[in-house]
Structure 1
Amino acid sequence: MNKSLLTSGATDSGRFPLARRRLLLAGAAVFACGASVAAPAVLPASASLPDELEQALKKGMPLVVMVSLDGCPFCKVARESYLVPLREQQGVVVVQLDMRSRQRVKDFKGAMLTHDELIRSWGIKVAPTVLFFGRGGAEIAERMVGGYIPDFYGAYLDERLRLAQVALRS
């Protein structure tokens, strides 16, 4: 192809305008690299905290609960970069509760509440907040409140998870 066609507004033998050729070339480059456009990483919405806790305890791990807010960019980073990989790569049971959601969830006492009602009962006002639960639905590590500094978020998460696992063993 003539190099001048790539830099001008002209068409390649009348077939493709410059903007479309560039888009086709970019798409071909992505395809050639094996990259794909993936759906955003998601966590399952909690439906029954006692059942999810039981599943976690069977693995010898705490239940990790992320409190999220729709559209929150800090929540997106925490979820996609740290919590989904924790779930998928290390098998940690991680679920999500959503602020302002009317979706129902069974709390640790067996009551059915909306996600929003449960979050309010826990006194949570900041998203993201990550909680670590052990036997009986007790919090066994300090909550992670807010987005923290991205360079340290993973380290804080690892430390809280380690402390929660120690608490489970004692």
Structure 2
Amino acid sequence: MNELTLNLALKRRHFLSVASLGLSQGVWAQSGASAVLPTPQSLQAELNRALQQKQPLIVMVSLEGCPFCRVARSSHLVPMQKAGAPIVQLDMRSAQAVLDFQGRSTTHDQLIKQWRISIAPTLLFFGPGGKEVAERMEGGYLPDFYGPYLDERLIKGRQAL
């Protein structure tokens, strides 16, 4: 077995073990309606509201049918949003219109491509002028670590404001 094949096999085994852990704990096998985050009409307006609260704007980039997105949304982001954290969602492959941080009309998918995002979920943390103020969170994390990584990014984002 060459090194590339071995590396792919190890990654696949790791993914399957993480997935089975999540399923056995009921993390991905949730019933009922899935949690929903608001989709913005204007990122500029959402950012202004976030900055009035002295918070970074969190933008979740999601993909329909993505189990990792569903876990991040229902376990972490929706509860935070209900508690008042400024969080919105943009969807990969969506032609839904949105105004960017400069007030220009675009679509979810065009904006996501402009930001060079290819992994769902991805969380971005924006501050004044639509500049990223903390490191992106890309992909799914183990459930035990997602919350602490998210908290770390929020602290850095707030400090940058």
The TM-score by the shorter chain falls in which range?
Answer: 0.7 to 0.9
The aligned length equals: 131
Q: Which runs of 5+ in 1 are unaligned?
A: 1-36
Query: Amino acid of the residue matched to residue 40 of structure 2?
Result: S
* TM-score, normalised relative to structure 1: 0.75
Of 124, 146, 152, the match for 2:145:
152
Task: Report what 2:132 is aligned to.
Answer: 139
Are positions 1:165 and 2:158 aligned together? yes
TM-score of the aligned structures, taking structure 2 as reference length: 0.79
CA distance in 1, matches of 2:150, 2:39: 20
Structure 2: how far apart are the matches of 1:160 and 1:119? Answer: 20
Letter in 1 for 2:67: P
| Paired position in structure 1 for 2:113 | 120
Q: Supply the distance in 2 between the matched residues of 1:130 and 1:40 (Cα, whole angstroms).
A: 18
1:97 match: 90
Alpha-carbon deviation of 1:40?
2.0
Aligned to 1:61: 55
1:87-114 Cα deviation digits (max 9, x unpaired): 112x111000000001000001221111
Higher relative contact order (CA 8 A, sep 6+): 2
Task: For 1:149, give the aligned amino acid.
Answer: L
Which residues of structure 2 form unaligned runs of 5+?
Answer: 1-30
Question: SS of 1:96's equivalent?
Answer: strand
Task: Give, in whole Å, the separation in 1 of the partners of 2:142 and 2:34.
Answer: 22
Task: Specify the structure having the higher radius of gyration (Cα).
Answer: 1
1:42 aligns with 2:36: yes
Per-residue CA deviation, residues 119-163 of structure 1 (Å, 9 max, x unaligned), is 000000000000000000000000000011211000000000011
Q: What CA distance in whole angstroms lies between the structure 1 residues aligned with 2:122 and 2:151?
A: 15
User: In structure 1, what is the Cα distance between the partners aligned to 2:49 and 2:55?
Assistant: 9
C-alpha displacement at 1:39, in angstroms?
Answer: 2.9
Q: Distance in 2 between matches of 1:143 and 1:103?
A: 23
Q: Which of 39-48 and 52-61 deviates more?
A: 39-48
Hey, what's the Cα distance between the residues in 2 that align with 1:86 and 1:131? 15
Percent of residue pairs bearing the same amino acid type:
61
Question: Which residue in the other structure is 2:14 paired with?
Answer: none
Q: Which residue of 2 aligns with 1:78?
A: 72
Letter in 2 for 1:164: G
SS in 2 for 1:95: strand
CA distance in 1: counterparts of 2:35 and 2:67, whole angstroms: 13
